[in-house]
Chain A
């Protein structure tokens, strides 16, 4: 995994609530056996028509919006546990997803793939949508070290939560498997001391 660094970027607004993982990456794209290539099908059914032509009214097809940050409505990533959703978002080039609420599994999957989910207040989220509506070149700054996000149009800044362990992983570019493997003795010890064995 790559180390996570402070990002200042324009962002792509998606002011829709309850965006589920079936929208992020529809099931018919899950037949792959590798992690590559999912970015092309991110939001496939919103992005392309039946013939595969880009739909002009979808934000990813609007050249005025771009950036490494996706800003989405409340309850982003609900539904299926498919990590392909996180691969699609990473594959497309997003490094941060901002919303006022994330579904649990999506949040874990994102973190495991070096994508930072940032939870902001409803007001802050509205501020971001308003700013990009007025000027698509509006930017946001995400500082993981300080755990802050700034709306550079209004100067508004908010603190966000992330547990210390995950923060460390992202900053250092480490993953959970490295950690678990270093802990094998403890696992064996646990197995031996169990009172009820299955």
Chain B
């Protein structure tokens, strides 16, 4: 009797170092411009080639503008970093989706949409939100640059086997509540360190009913409670999503794959190191009020008061609220906001744009709000246009940008000014994450849409 995690992990063990980590084989490796240059430099210094070039794919996403991508990047240092990625792709013979390539986009958006991400795989990338790919029933996790170098050099990585946790969402979600709300709710309950050392499997009725894209949102945020990654057992929803995508197996190979994929589930009676159950029907639309994703509450909730915080956490809590300009015990519903960011690998896919467009249709963007709508990839943008959503957005006063990570980490020009409030569909509300002094309120796409047209925090 094995858990889903155990099945995939065990199938990828090359060897175990006595009294040490496991040498794990990696099926797919994704790279972007920010965390890879030092790894390629390391290969050069050691005189090594990429061991299995067909298993690594490169894209530029973190450090690129979201306007005017057809002209050279204006910021010289950023341009050099992106050029370095292109050069590394050429020198080492790797597939690279550079700017304006129709397959370019955020690394965790393009993997799934091209069928590159598949059940049962091990997938790594030098970016912590690699956990997104776990939605397909894969072991996917973020790695550091030294580890990127290991994978390039040997297609393997040394890892200590994590513990397993199952999180069950029983019951049905309410209307207007989505995967982002589930995730923010879960992290608020478990705290940002609550799943450290664990790999999480999401299960239960509410998870089974999620679409593929919603599962990606949920798995994406696993890392924000410290988990190594999160996964969902593949099922019809997964197979229907994958069928026909470019890199998905075809014909006989598809049949063979399906036979294998159908074995990928946790056996009845298999033991997890920890099990948690939530009642999905209790979850309301969520926002965050502080500077880590665990500081979340329902929109109509109130920020905890000081005596609800334990002694050791008080300094951090007060520092966080000071940064945000909020008071303990305060209610945030009705608070004016300045920026809205729809995008990122958490909520920058087509369904997120459908939700956002559906809400703003026939309404107008509030004049006090600057809105950045950034599709996760060129394919998402093309789909937005194909469905006419761009027209709806335009009529409501919104403008669509070009794909990239954008204001999720604000390495490019999309920075929220100091002191301003941004309702963001991304994944991190850390101090300065969206620009020095920027104040981030995390939320799902519907809450972001409501904030964009009302100019304040409201129920969607």
**Residues of chain A lying within 8 A (CB to CB) of residue B418:** 50
Query: A104–B228 contact, CB under 8 A?
Result: yes
Query: B430–A79 contact, CB under 8 A?
Result: yes
**A-B Cβ contacts below 8 A, count:** 193
Query: A83–B153 contact, CB under 8 A?
Result: no
Query: B27–A198 contact, CB under 8 A?
Result: yes
The reply on B34 being an interface residue by CB < 8 A is: yes
Q: How far is the CA of A101 from the CA of B27 in the complex (A)?
A: 31
A165 CB contact (under 8 Å) in B14, B19, B46, B428: B19
The reply on B146 being an interface residue by CB < 8 A is: yes
Q: How far is the CA of A86 from the CA of B147 in the complex (A)?
A: 13
Shortest Cβ distance from B27 into A: residue: A198
A22 with B316, Cβ < 8 A, contacts A81-B127, A187-B14 known: no
The reply on A150 being an interface residue by CB < 8 A is: no
Task: Kindly state the interface size class of chain A when it binds its partner.
Answer: 35 or more
Q: How far is the CA of A35 from the CA of B41 in the complex (A)?
A: 10
Q: How far is the CA of A78 from the CA of B37 in the complex (A)?
A: 23
**Residues of chain A lying within 8 A (CB to CB) of residue B196:** 75, 101-104
The reply on A2 being an interface residue by CB < 8 A is: no
Q: How far is the CA of A78 from the CA of B144 in the complex (A)?
A: 13
Q: How far is the CA of A104 from the CA of B149 in the complex (A)?
A: 18
Q: How far is the CA of A186 from the CA of B12 in the complex (A)?
A: 12
Shortest Cβ distance from B428 into A: residue: A79
Q: How far is the CA of A158 from the CA of B101 in the complex (A)?
A: 55
Query: B154–A187 contact, CB under 8 A?
Result: yes
Within the complex, the shortest CB–CB distance from B3 to chain A, in Å, comes to 19
Query: B144–A81 contact, CB under 8 A?
Result: yes
The reply on B396 being an interface residue by CB < 8 A is: no
**Residues of chain A lying within 8 A (CB to CB) of residue B333:** none
* Tally of chain B residues near chain A (CB < 8 A): 75
A83 with B146, Cβ < 8 A, contacts A22-B428, A101-B193, A165-B17 known: yes
Q: How far is the CA of A50 from the CA of B433 in the complex (A)?
A: 16
- Residues B114-130 near A (CB distance < 8 A): 118, 120-121, 126-128
**Residues of chain A lying within 8 A (CB to CB) of residue B142:** 81, 105
Within the complex, the shortest CB–CB distance from B209 to chain A, in Å, comes to 29
Query: A81–B120 contact, CB under 8 A?
Result: no
- Residues A156-198 near B (CB distance < 8 A): 163-166, 175-177, 179-181, 183-184, 186-187, 190-191, 194, 196, 198
B34 CB contact (under 8 Å) in A30, A105, A177: A30
Query: B432–A18 contact, CB under 8 A?
Result: no
28 A-B residue pairings within 8 Å (CB atoms): A18-B292, A18-B316, A20-B292, A22-B432, A22-B433, A27-B411, A30-B62, A30-B411, A31-B411, A33-B37, A33-B41, A33-B84, A34-B37, A74-B193, A78-B192, A108-B143, A112-B147, A165-B19, A177-B146, A177-B150, A177-B153, A180-B153, A181-B48, A181-B154, A187-B156, A196-B257, A196-B260, A198-B121
**Which A residues are closer than 8 A to B by beta carbons?**
15-18, 20, 22-23, 26-28, 30-35, 45, 50, 73-75, 78-84, 86, 101-105, 108-109, 112-113, 122, 163-166, 175-177, 179-181, 183-184, 186-187, 190-191, 194, 196, 198
**Which B residues are closer than 8 A to A by beta carbons?**
11, 14-15, 17-21, 23, 25, 27-28, 34-35, 37-38, 41-42, 46, 48, 51, 62-63, 75, 77-78, 80-81, 84, 118, 120-121, 126-128, 142-147, 149-150, 153-156, 158, 160, 162, 192-193, 196-197, 226, 228, 256-257, 260, 292, 312-313, 315-316, 319, 409-411, 418, 428, 430-433, 436
Q: Which 3 A-B pairs have the closest CB atoms?
A: A165-B20, A83-B144, A33-B37
- Please give 9 more A-B residue pairs, beta carbons under 8 A apart, in addition to A78-B193, A103-B226: A22-B430, A23-B432, A32-B37, A80-B409, A109-B144, A177-B46, A177-B149, A183-B23, A187-B154
